[in-house]
Amino acid sequence: MVYALAAGMTPILGVQYVVPAKGIDAKGNPEAMVATKNPVSDENEQPAQPAREDKVTRMGTASIPRLIVEFAIPSILGMLVNGAYNLIDSIFLGQAMGEIGLATATVAMPVMTVFMAISMLVGNGGNALAALRMGEGNREEAERSLGNTVCLSIILAAVVAVVAHVPACIDGVLGISGATAEDWYYARSFIQIISLGFVFQCIGMGVNNFIRTAGAPNRALSTMIVGAVACTIFNFLFVMVLGWGVQGSALATLFGQAISCACVLWYFLFTKNVPMRLRLRHLPLHARTVGLILSLGLASFAVQAGMAVVNFVLNNLLNLYGSMNPIGAEGALASIGVVQRVAMFTVLPLIGVAIAIQPLLGFNYGAHLFERVKKTLLCGIIGATGIGVVLWGLVHLFPEQIVGFFGIEDDSLLGFTVFALKVQLAMLPFVGFQIVGSNYFQATGQPAKSIFLSLTRQILFLIPLFLVLPLVLPGWFPQFTSLDALYFATPLADFLAIFTTAVFILLEMGRLRKLERGEIQAKF
């Protein structure tokens, strides 16, 4: 369902703002919003305090570069901390079990990606809706989005836990995930243990984004750091000290996510003067709210689900072409496991920038401050690109040290993994533009465009390249094997996705200019 973002008297957190039809004055200043007191307040709340109001309303008035830095630093650190769960598991399993431990983590990764896709479906979708409603000044609906997101997380987590313990389901998934006889049992145990605590991931990661929208990015970061530190401690205890192997690593991840989840819930339940609160009356599912959450979160889900499909395809191709290579199938799985985790760790800061600007984009779009929307997008692209350049440089300066950190000692496997890492991350300086650009459409209530851009790289470009390049590249360049060709597919897909996103962004700039002039009406 599509809604017009109405101009006029818009209540927000106990204050009303007179918002011009275009959301800005004749000079494009957001300060054109004039505040007057709202005599109506929440029946269960004291009148909003200035400090609480400022946490949100400043997104429409404060310096955009300053806001982005304030939001981006904890967001980037938070994404790195969140990604540390998989990285920590891989490091401990690699050190304790060698190639079989890394191969197990690689086989389990597509399933874990599906789990993350589900958590992002409800978490990112609910947060995007909350940011838009806060921009409109509708606090009640923002809180309803929060409550429905928590309820959806609990329901979906229960479904995941049941499905993961149905033998036909889990064995079927492992079959298409490329599991071999050596790592089948380990991968199955890891996935089933993680599934039991999936509700902690849904709330701890997904609902964490609401804390940023509530204007507390540092608090959002702290909830994630606590969980990651706990995960590291428990991994050391369970894997290295007690020798519990894969099962111990899964339990460590579960416990870390549970602690993070508890911190997130505490913020919305017990912290004073929060702009949004988790209320019992907003937990029952509301059809319209659920529909909007799922539609806005579909882009994030599509990215992760597409990644899972890619991993399913890639793992099977690695088994095929790895068996034709001296490093073997297990070596190929171990190698891609290292490359994927390093790649994930380099991309997470770029995603962090995209997540950081999401509440700023949503709030200003909802308030019709389109000049600030454009400036926020530009600053986000510049920031993500700069980070990408730095990370690309580090990967190319210290590839051997990075790969060796995962416990790979065989010289041939080490050399191949270093080569694969450099090739796969060749387009890293420009990937931030694609991520931020795609996220922009999600943040501004244009999920169809965001979904399309998200799927172009994963489905439209990458999978066909995985299938075709190993067949043709060795014929064109005999120095490369079919296994080598699998890694060249990623930078080619990145280039095509970046170009496609650039076209969409250019068209969107024209649409925003029309919105500023009042030629068309913003809808959501």
What is the β-pairing status of strands 8-12 and 15-19?
Answer: antiparallel
62 shares its domain with 29 = no
Residue type at 173 in one-letter notation: V
Residue 243 lies in a domain: yes
Rounded Cα–Cα distance for residues 409 and 415 (Å): 10
66 shares its domain with 45 = no
pLDDT at 391: 92
Structural domain that includes position 237: 58-517
202 shares its domain with 308 = yes
Residue 358 lies in a domain: yes
For 333-446, strand residue ranges (E) read: none
pLDDT at 82: 64
pLDDT at 1: 30
51 shares its domain with 96 = no
Q: Which helix (H) or strand (E) holds 333?
A: helix 328-366
Number of domains in the chain: 2
342 shares its domain with 482 = yes
pLDDT at 99: 62
pLDDT at 151: 92
Strand order in the sheet with 8-12: 8-12, 15-19, 34-37
Note whether 152 and 122 are within 8 A (CB): yes
Rounded Cα–Cα distance for residues 1 and 311 (Å): 34
Rounded Cα–Cα distance for residues 267 and 270 (Å): 6
Write out the two tokens for 493. Answer: 């897909």
Note whether 37 and 16 are within 8 A (CB): yes
70, 174, 207, 231, 297 from 203: Cα distances, Å = 23, 26, 5, 16, 15
HEC per residue, 181-225: CCCHHHHHHHHHHHHHCHHHHHHHHHHHHHHHHCCCHHHHHHHHH
Closest CA to 190 of 251, 236, 277: 251
327 shares its domain with 409 = yes
pLDDT at 22: 37
With 0-12 / 13-18 / 19 or more C-beta atoms within 10 angstroms meaning exposed / middle / buried, residue 510 is: exposed
Q: Produce one character per residue of 56-79: b if its CB has 16 or more CB atoms within 10 Å, e if not.
A: bbebbbeebeebbebbbebbbbbb
pLDDT at 132: 80
With 0-12 / 13-18 / 19 or more C-beta atoms within 10 angstroms meaning exposed / middle / buried, residue 21 is: exposed
Residue 524 lies in a domain: no
Rounded Cα–Cα distance for residues 128 and 360 (Å): 10
15 shares its domain with 135 = no
Sign of the CA dihedral with 152 first, then 154, 158, and 161 last = positive
Provide the greatest CA pair distance for the chain: 76
Q: Produce one character per residue of 267-297: b if its CB has 16 or more CB atoms within 10 Å, e if not.
A: bbeeeeebbbbbbeebbeebeebbebbbbbb
Q: Which of 57, 75, 90 is the last residue of a domain?
A: 57
Residue 3 lies in a domain: no
Per-residue pLDDT tens over the stretch 229-287: 888 888 888 877 887 877 888 888 889 889 989 999 999 988 888 888 888 888 888 88
Residue 1 lies in a domain: no
43 shares its domain with 67 = no
pLDDT along the chain (524 residues), means of 10: 28 28 38 36 43 59 78 75 65 65 71 81 86 81 90 91 86 75 77 87 83 80 84 84 82 89 90 84 87 83 76 78 67 74 83 83 81 89 92 88 72 80 90 89 81 80 89 86 83 92 92 82 63
39 shares its domain with 126 = no
Note whether 219 and 162 are within 8 A (CB): no
Closest CA to 106 of 419, 319, 324: 319
3-class secondary-structure state, position 167: helix
pLDDT at 178: 67
Residue 252 lies in a domain: yes
Write out the two tokens for 31. Answer: 């300060």
Note whether 208 and 124 are within 8 A (CB): no
237: number of Cβ within 10 Å: 15
What is the β-pairing status of strands 8-12 and 34-37?
Answer: unpaired
116 shares its domain with 177 = yes
